[in-house]
Each structure stands twice: as structure tokens, then as C-alpha cells.
Chains A and B, each alone.
Chain A
Amino acid sequence: MDDLNLLVSQTAERLFRGHMSHSLSLAAEAGAFPSDFWDAAEEAGLTLAMVPEASGGVGLDPQGWAALIRLAGAHAVPLPLAETMLANRLLVAGGLAPRTGILSLASATGALALTRAGETWRLSGTAARVPYGRQATGLVVVGEAEGERRVALVPVSAGVVTPGANMAGEPRDDIAFDCALAAPDVAPSPYGPADLEAMGAAVRAIALAGALDRVLELTVGYVGERVQFGRTLSKFQAVQQQVALLATHVAAAGGAAGLAAEAIAGEPDGTRVAAAKIRTGEAAGLAAGIAHQMHGAMGFSQEYALHPLTRRLWAWREEFGSEALWSRRLGADILRRDADALWPFISAA
């Protein structure tokens, strides 16, 4: 398995390096979806990374697919790779076939409802802030109906898309549905909306760690080149101390990313997902602040490659639950227990 992991991540690294450029990043944000890049990623099997080989997937282990998501985060890849990976995993877990093409995700909670209508099913209401909703062909919806968890594949063309974006300019679209679903596209699912939220939080935590890897790399590179007062910034102790602090947060996020991947390998473990999303989210804000400080005005310009990363840090830390949401949940869980159960709880995570 380690060999397969390595092979796929080397392929992905080559692919991302080959296709990504700062101009592509800006163009994608302006609305030009890089279809060639997507096709190449799909061709390489990345969208089936989480699907077992027996179900027609690539069957990577958590370390393997997490490495892909982290790399995509590091390159600020403007494609819904993690979303499509997860969507295919959910389909297959429900006994449905994985699909080619762009898929995205939604929970049938709140304003979106998945209900039975006689022999068939109905999806009504609005799926909010769907990643790459306008580009997706299918939306994988997870819901609970009549006490049972269901997964459904819905063609996006059945809904009305209202475009939106996150702080990084990634599409986050509202899609309004009021349609009947084909019976073969709805199946019992081992995963419900809370599981989808945990899986989403975990992949965002991993992507955050990837973006943080690259933010550190850019910052170390910049302070090693930029000369002021006759020496590179890297020779100033004040700068060294700040970059070291940045590195500690990047490192913590790297460890948290590993926890996140393991936490959703099977039935999602809310405690480890919470820990990972909280820690990577906190690292994101602190790291973005230091990285911009170290880059001075340069990091603030549209032309320099820092902002696609830092804006992703600021966007992703909110998605699938911010630190505030996950901290409250985790804290409430702890405060419900006896204080002397704290260490057994922590050490079992």
C-alpha cells in the first residue's frame, strides 16, 4: 500500500506542478474553470482515491488520499477534488456506482429536505454554499428520512443555481431544488448528515495543513531572498523568531491532518475530527498573519502567490464548522463527563 500511496502522490505532484500557475489561479477565480486540468486529474484516478478497488476505485488508504488532499491544498488547486472523492465514497458506501465527472456534496438538513413520495423520493429546498455547484454534474445528498439514512445522487441540472464564492473565490453556490428523484439513485446509507459534516471538516483540516505547508515554504523562501539594511531578512533575529513560530503552527496542523484522515477512515470519530479542525483552523489564522507580516507589501499584491493560499486559509477554517463550533461541541462533551474522566477521554482520542 505504501508503494501505491507514493506512486499516486508523485503522479499528483507532477500533475499539480504541471498545470498550476499563478495566472491559472487568478483565471479560475475569475470564472474560467480549468477543464483540462480536471480531466487530467480524473484520468489519473484522483477522484476515486477513497473508493475501494473492488468497487472500481483506486483504493488508497487514509494516508494515501490525505496526501493528495494536502498536496492539492499546498498548490491551491482550483478543483473540487476532495469533494468529488468524498462524494464517490458516499455513493459506493450506499451501494451505488461511483461516477465520472465533477460531483459535490450537500446534507439534507435545515433548508434542504429529502422526503419519500410514494414509491419514489423528493428533494426540495435549497442546498447552501455547495462547492463548485455550478460546475458539478451531480450532487450527492445525505439525509435522514423515516429514521433511516439515505444517500441520493441528484443531477444539478434539476435545480436552479445561484452563484456565490468563498473568500478565496472558490465557487460556493446555492442550488434550489424541487424535484422527484429516480428510485435507483437513492439508497440506504451508513452515513448521515453528521458524518458528512465530519468528513467535510476532516478534508478541510487536511487541505489547511497543505496550504500551511506552502505558506511556510514561501515565507522561508522570501525572507531568504529579500535584502534590507544590507542583509537578508532571514538574518534578523526578530524575523527568525517569527518564522519559527509560524513553523510551530504549521507543524501542529500537519499532525492534526494525520488525525483527521484517520478519524474518517471508517465511521467518523467526532472527537478527533474536532481536534483537527480546531487546531488547523487556529493555525490558519495565526500563520496567515505571520506570513503576511514577513512578506510586507509584496504579500499583499495580486501578483504574488501568497494570497491564493492565505485566502484559502481564511475560507477553509470556516467551512464544515469553524473552531468555535467544533470547540463548543467538544467542550460540551467533556463537561458532561466527570472531571476525572478527562485524561481517559483525551488519551483515548
Chain B
Amino acid sequence: MHRFDFPPAQMPQDARALRDEVRAFLAETIAARTPLERAQSWVGFDADFSRKMGARGWIGMTWPARFGGRERSALHRYIVLEEMLAAGAPVAAHWIADRQSGPALMRYGSAAQQEAILPRIAAGECFFCIGMSEPGSGSDLAAARTRAEPVEGGYRVSGTKLWTTYAHEAHYMILLARTAPGERHEGLSQFLVDMKTPGITVRPILDIAGAHHFNEVHFEDVFLPAESLLGQPGDGWAQVMGELAFERSGPERFLSSFTLLTELVRVLAEAPSAASEEAIGRLAAHLIVLRRLSSSVAGMLQAGEDPQLDAAVVKDLGAVFEQEIPEIARRLVACEPSLGARSSFLNVLAYTTLSAPSFSLRGGTREILRGIIARGLGLR
């Protein structure tokens, strides 16, 4: 049976120097961001910030130099990511391209696609959105109904994608669509889609906090040239499963509420009580252990292993941790949180409470993840 070991990652020699460099960069670049803005790290869209990160070599940093990468290790990347997220830097613009679309292009894309796109992603100038979910297809991705019908010279696409984060800002989408009717998994393919292609309409969907990052993306008889296909027709399902497995265990899976934790510590430190010491100690312990698990998985990836079960476990544990922080905070501090509150603790608590339900939905729901874990244990 699988034994969960999580050996220590062999941190690179320049780990400390890189961490310090990132901290100095952040201290200078995002000094003016309020705690409420920092709490929105993941959904904070700032193209200028992304370009600065690109210039530092911190986007696509593990990629080959010919694609604009810096050929650094998964652990270097781990350090940059966790420093960005812990500081609440606005990483949304390049986030999807860096973690998901770029690696997908590198694995499955044609030489022409790679040459055209990857260096621009690494420079922090090319942003992506993900065209997987649909109105009738969330966890059950294979139920996708968007059609890409083969026509002379390419494909004609009709259908609707939903919950498409930053579709209104992205330059490209990687689109999952059905190229052959019939079998659920075999008929799916992915495409590299220029968002300026005629026939694509992007409509905003406001989230629970009233913010706009989700969209509905409608494709009406959109012509895609044959060379926009990613890999071979029918490879879509395997590609999507691979993409989702890439990044289940990164620091973004447990740092979403870190700004709130920092503000909570600030409030509690004014008059520490036994209850607050115990609660903060417990959360810190969880966080220290999560960092161990997550960095260990990064080390396994660096060593060329395929730690799918370990990665799924880290994502599930991380989401539980992120989600419980707002509930714990409100039990420790009698307060009435609101987005408009002047106190940073109160507005960050409100924001994080509103965001928390998404932590166990995005990138694979808790139930799907636990199903994956159960399969890894041999139960199904």
C-alpha cells in the first residue's frame, strides 16, 4: 500500500538568495497594496505587475531557454510562488498561462504554437483562460457539448463555456470541445484559440462578492484554422486530465487565506489570550506541515516522479485549512465583518468568508479529489 512519506525536498543552494530577492522585489513593487487587495492575490489582475515578473524571469521559470524559460528547478518555482502568494501579490494575469496553459503547450503543442506563444507568456505579456467548464459540464468534464466540427481547412465551433476566469482580459483560451460525436472521452480535443477570433462573445458573470472575474464565453460558428488544434484529434481528455494533475499541490492550495491569518495575528497580538494562542499555534502547525507536504511534492516532480496521489491529498488538506481560517477568526474576535469596513481585519475577513466556498471547488471539487484519493488507495 502507498506510504505517505513526503521526504524533504532538496532545496537548491541559492534558495535563500532567491527568497530574499523575491521579498525585496515585492517590498518595492506592491508596497501600496492594502490588506484587502492582498487577500485577492489569486484574482488580482495587474498586467504591469506580470510584465515586471516576466522581466525578472519568474514566469515559465522552469521552461527551456528556447521558450523564454530560465531552466530553473521546480523548487525555485515553488519559492517564487509561495512568496508571491504569502505577500498577496496580484498574480492573476499570468497565473493560468504560467501554471497550466504554458505547460500544456509545451507537452502537446506544435513547434509553431510553442514558438509563437511560450516566450510571450514567459515575458509576462500573454495571458490565458481555460475553456473547460460548460453550463452542463462542471465536475463531469466529459459531458462537454461544445462542438468543433471539421470543415475545410479547420473546425467550426459552436457552444458555451462557463466560469471562464479572466476571459475578458486573456489573449488566448485553451478550449475543450467535441470533435467527434459518440464516445464520451474519445471524441474530445483541445484547441489554442485567439480570443480576438470573430464569433466569440464574452459576457461577465459577477461573483458572490460582486467582483468580475468569471465569464460566460459564447462561440457562434467560430472558424478555427486546422493548426489551432492541440496535439491530435481525440487527445483532449488525456490532455485535460494531465493539466489538472500538473498543479494540484502548489502553495496556492493553502495560502488563499494567509492575508487573513496575518491580520488575525495583528488583532490578537494586542491582547493575547490562552484561546488565541492555542488557535494560532494550531493554524501555524498546520501551515508548517502543509508547506512540508507541498514542497516535498515539488521535489518529487523535480525528480521526475509522478506523485498524483500525494498531490491530490495536499490539495484537499490545503482547502480544508484555507476554509477554516475565517470561521476560526470570527470565533476568536467578536466582530461584524464587511467589505466596506475601515478595519483591515474586518474587510479581509468579509472578503475571505465570501471567497472560501470556492477553495474546495476550483480545480476539482473536494468530492472529486477524494474520489481520486480513494482510487489511489485501491478502493475503486
Contact = CB atoms under 8 A, between A and B. Distances in A.
Interface of A: 63, 213, 216-217, 220, 223-224, 234-235, 237, 239-241, 243-245, 247-248, 250-256, 258-259, 262, 271-272, 274-276, 278-279, 282, 323-324, 326-340, 342-343, 345-347, 349
Best-buried of A237, A251, A262 by chain B (most CB within 10 Å): A251
A255 B296 contact: yes
A340 B370 contact: no
B278 to A, nearest CB: 5
Nearest to A329: B281
B269 A335 contact: yes
A114 B1 CA distance: 48
Contact of B6 (A216, A255, A337, A340): A255
A247 B313 contact: yes
B379 A335 contact: no
Nearest to B7: A258
B235 interface: no
23 contacts: A234-B374, A239-B379, A240-B380, A244-B371, A244-B373, A252-B317, A253-B4, A259-B292, A262-B8, A279-B286, A326-B285, A328-B278, A328-B281, A332-B272, A335-B265, A335-B268, A335-B272, A339-B263, A343-B86, A346-B288, A347-B82, A347-B86, A349-B288
A234 B285 contact: no
B262 A220 contact: no
A291 to B, nearest CB: 13
Contacts of A329: 277, 281
B285 A274 contact: yes
A328 B274 contact: yes
A252 B293 contact: yes
A223 B287 contact: no
A240 B374 contact: yes
A328 B277 contact: yes
Interface string B67-102: 000000000000000100011000000000000000
A63 B8 CA distance: 10
A243 B7 CA distance: 23
Contact of B289 (A240, A247, A275, A340): A275
Instruction: Label chain A's interface by main secondary structure.
Output: helix
Contacts of A331: 272, 276-282, 284
Nearest to A245: B370
Contact of B380 (A234, A279, A323): A234
Instruction: Label chain B's interface by main secondary structure.
Output: helix
B3 interface: yes
Interface residues of B, number: 55
Best-buried of A213, A278, A329 by chain B (most CB within 10 Å): A278
A329 B261 CA distance: 18
Interface string B306-330: 0000100110110010000000000
B203 interface: no
A64 to B, nearest CB: 13
Contacts of B286: 278-279
B266 interface: yes
A306 B176 CA distance: 47
A240 B370 contact: yes
A335 B276 contact: yes
Contacts of A258: 5-8, 292, 296
A243 B261 contact: no
Contacts of B7: 63, 258
Given A237-B371, A327-B285, A347-B86, 18 more contacts: A234-B380, A241-B371, A244-B373, A247-B313, A251-B310, A252-B289, A252-B313, A255-B296, A258-B5, A278-B285, A326-B285, A327-B280, A327-B281, A332-B277, A334-B280, A334-B284, A335-B280, A349-B288
Contact of A332 (B5, B281, B282, B316): B281
Contacts of B268: 335
Contacts of A334: 265, 280-281, 284
Nearest to B87: A343
